[in-house]
Amino acid sequence: MSLFQNAPRTNAEFEACAPLDLSPSEVAEFDEAEWYARAYRGETPQLTLRAVLMGSVLGFFLAFTNLYIGLKTGWHLGVAITACILSYSIWQGMLRFGIAKTNMTILENNCMQSTASAAGYSTGGTFVSAIAALLMIQGVHLPIWVLVVWTFFLAILGVTLAIPMKRNMINQEKLKFPSGLAAASTLQSLYADGAEASKKARALMWSGLVGAVVPFLIDAHFIIDKVKTTADAVVYKTLLPGSSKLFDWLPHVGTKLNESGVAEIAKPSDWTLRMDHNPVMIAAGALVGLRVAIWMSVSGLILAFLLGPYAQEYLWVNLDGETVAAVTKPARAWKEIGLWLGAPIMVASGLLAFAFQWKTIARALSGMGKKSEGDDDAQDGVEVPNSWFVAGMVASASGVIFVANSQFDVPVHLGVLAVALTFVLALVACRATGESDITPTGAMGKIMQLTYGVLIPQSATANLMTAGITSGAASSSADLLNDLKSGYLLGANPKRQFLAQFFGIFTGTIATVIGFKLLVPDATALLGKTLADGTEIAPAFPAPAAVAWKAVADVFNSGIGNLHEMHRSAIFVGLGIGIALTLIDRFAPKKTKKFLPSATGVGLGFILPFQYPLSMLIGALIGYYWNKRNEKQCEGYLVPLASGIIAGVSIMGVVAAALNNFVFVNGGPGH
């Protein structure tokens, strides 16, 4: 089989590649033999050079989107549907201008979205968790070559691990993989109704252009002069402030300690009760939904009006006889008291929810090593051969173990153990994705953190990066299986789609490393800083996932006994809340679940500055109201509009960061 196929050269050839007459939901019910007979499209053009190039370019920019949102909120957003809409509309424009001669086939676009998804989604997970947490601890970036090699081999490990799972989970057990079904349905609708597809594409494009303006208004300080506030620090002005103090009319909330240790009345804005001017979080809230957004806001208010003021007044005497405050400044409550309450809630909830999936775990483990029915009769050139799995495992595992040993002080035998555990945990995570559309990468990472906290105590680096192996690989495996499910429903060749996913890893690795270095030039972008005059500068990216990972690593590294007394209490209270919320959600009547607290929302609300939950609540309310007024219109256009805003802000945010950090630093305005 040649690596790339020839694309259709005439419209007649393109018409011969028309989509199946069967809907994705119908194909989903076929057994394997019926799929080969009725759905498989044979050698229909799919892995073409133009499809891979389009997916690589789109994935390169969409990688910035996930990195930006992940550093802001801890969430990872799927990019497959956005890539499908963009690819279809871009190619239509190229046809109109005569740049392209024929349209892409539906299976070419399916391969395109695999490449884009690998680049835009599979390579960035550890940057918003383990790598960002390590930067917080060490204060300096890892060398670029380490980031590149680490990211590349983790992604290869992930896609390789998915090979033995595909036939069992997709062909034979017919697990749902809802995101894969959604991507297949989107492609079918694009090719069935070109007019509707054009409308969605225009909505995405216009919202993207609107979002693209924002970073140049609130982030691009190179446009106007910088203002020196102290001898050792610089605060930059922008055309518009990033947030506004709209809530200082509310009652004052407790006190704050000034630099002289004198208590002063704290304004709501001192507790991050501000209005964020960046619409990216509003768009994210529209996608996340009302339940999570409401409970994020509720816990944020509890932090500002109850927990924070109480902690501000809480003093204790340490071993040296010094009187120490639990919180020195209100603006840091969400990072100190809020962190030690919110992170345990998320850890306990994630691990317990994972434990409740014991049937899924048992099915995954019992399926290991089983030979799929009809393996001897698998059609040559269709399924990915086992030899690729062996070669990929040897290459990727060797690379991961080498970097872990040479750069993160993980002994070789424990690196081998980490890869072995990753195979088992990725298997479980992929089955969970297929059954529920939720990939528990956070829980997988926490299991590894707990394991290596025992095996390599007092090593935060090893603790974080071994967990990053599992989290990154599990994310890549689940993403590939979602894409393979989409291809299965459209009659695609899984071997060609695997190659498309593999090609996307190259551009995704480059984009993610570049984006991370631009958005996070140093640790202050994640931690914030305090100027000599006492002014608090909030971090550009609160990175809640990284904060939670760092908290676990810190406990193992320094021991819980060295934490502040109130922080220790908050950990145990948070664990109890996380367990309670998970149990309530598990056993409550189905009708009432939408009204119950979301453990994820409550935990994030304590960790994030309040301005972010507030923006997400606004977006969720807009989405809820739109859905109530016009459900069909909302279903068709909410995702394109929100995705466009997120893409526009994120991509141009990286551009603005590049201009801030590299182009105008020496010799630009203000110099």
Distances (CA, A) of 350 to 345, 356, 409, 472, 589: 8, 10, 28, 17, 21
* pLDDT over 90 (residue 607): no
* pLDDT over 70 (residue 473): yes
Q: How far apart are CA 489 and CA 25, in angstroms?
A: 8
Q: Which pLDDT does position 375 carry in this prediction?
A: 47
Q: How far apart are CA 68 and CA 516, in angstroms?
A: 9
Question: Among 56-65, 277-286, 587-596, 657-666, whose mean pLDDT is lowest?
Answer: 657-666
Q: How far apart are CA 70 and CA 441, in angstroms?
A: 13
* Number of helices followed by number of strands (H, E) in the chain: 27, 10
* pLDDT over 50 (residue 302): yes
Tell me if 573 sits within 8 A of 341, measured CB to CB.
yes
Q: How far apart are CA 233 and CA 309, in angstroms?
A: 29
Question: Among 243-257, 458-472, 639-653, whose mean pLDDT is lowest?
Answer: 243-257
What DSSP assignment string belongs to 346-414? HHHHHHHHHHTTHHHHHHHHHTTTPPPTTGGGPPTTTSPPHHHHHHHHHHHHHHHHHHHHHHH---HHH
Q: Which pLDDT does position 666 carry in this prediction?
A: 44
Q: Which pLDDT does position 376 carry in this prediction?
A: 46
Backbone angles phi, psi at 275, to 5 degrees: -100, 115
pLDDT digits (tens, 9 = 90+) for 271-296: 888 888 889 889 888 888 898 899 98
* pLDDT over 60 (residue 207): yes
Q: Which amino acid is at 171?
A: N
* 642 closest CA partner among 286, 212, 199: 286
Q: Which amino acid is at 304?
A: A
Q: How far apart are CA 247 and CA 166, in angstroms?
A: 52
Q: How far apart are CA 85 and CA 126, in angstroms?
A: 27
* pLDDT over 70 (residue 442): yes
Between 238 and 449, the more confident residue is 449
pLDDT digits (tens, 9 = 90+) for 117-129: 888 887 777 898 8
Q: How far apart are CA 49 and CA 200, in angstroms?
A: 26
Tell me if 219 sits within 8 A of 656, measured CB to CB.
yes
Q: How far apart are CA 114 and CA 54, in angstroms?
A: 11
Highest averaged pLDDT of the listed ranges 423-437, 457-471, 650-664: 457-471
Please list the residues that pair with 234 across neighbouring strands: 228
Q: Which pLDDT does position 368 carry in this prediction?
A: 52
Task: State the average pLDDT for the chain.
Answer: 82
Global pTM value:
0.81
Q: Which two tokens stand for residue 395?
A: 């290459």
Q: What count of residues does the chain have?
A: 671
* 537 closest CA partner among 223, 133, 227: 227
What DSSP assignment string belongs to 272-304? T--EE--THHHHHHHHH-HHHHHHHHHHHHHII
Q: Describe the chain by its helix, strand, coil percentages, rounded to 5.
A: 70, 5, 25
The DSSP symbol for 35 reads: I
Strands 315-317 and 323-325: antiparallel
Q: Which two tokens stand for residue 493?
A: 């060749």
Q: Which pLDDT does position 66 carry in this prediction?
A: 85
Could you tell me which residues come within 8 angstroms of residue 435 by beta carbon, excluding any fewer than 6 positions away? 175, 176, 360
pLDDT digits (tens, 9 = 90+) for 37-64: 888 887 788 899 999 999 999 999 989 8
Q: Which two tokens stand for residue 384?
A: 């990915």
Q: Which pLDDT does position 403 carry in this prediction?
A: 95
pLDDT digits (tens, 9 = 90+) for 400-419: 999 999 999 999 999 999 99
Question: Among 90-99, 155-164, 386-395, 659-668, whose mean pLDDT is lowest?
Answer: 659-668
Q: How far apart are CA 24 and CA 183, in angstroms?
A: 10
* pLDDT over 50 (residue 668): no
Q: Which pLDDT does position 228 carry in this prediction?
A: 54
Could you tell me which residues come within 8 angstroms of residue 143 by beta carbon, excluding any fewer than 6 positions away? none
Q: Which pLDDT does position 227 carry in this prediction?
A: 60
What DSSP assignment string belongs to 397-457? HHHHHHHHHHHH---HHHHHHHHHHHHHHHHHHHHHHHHHS---HHHHHHHHHHHHHHHST
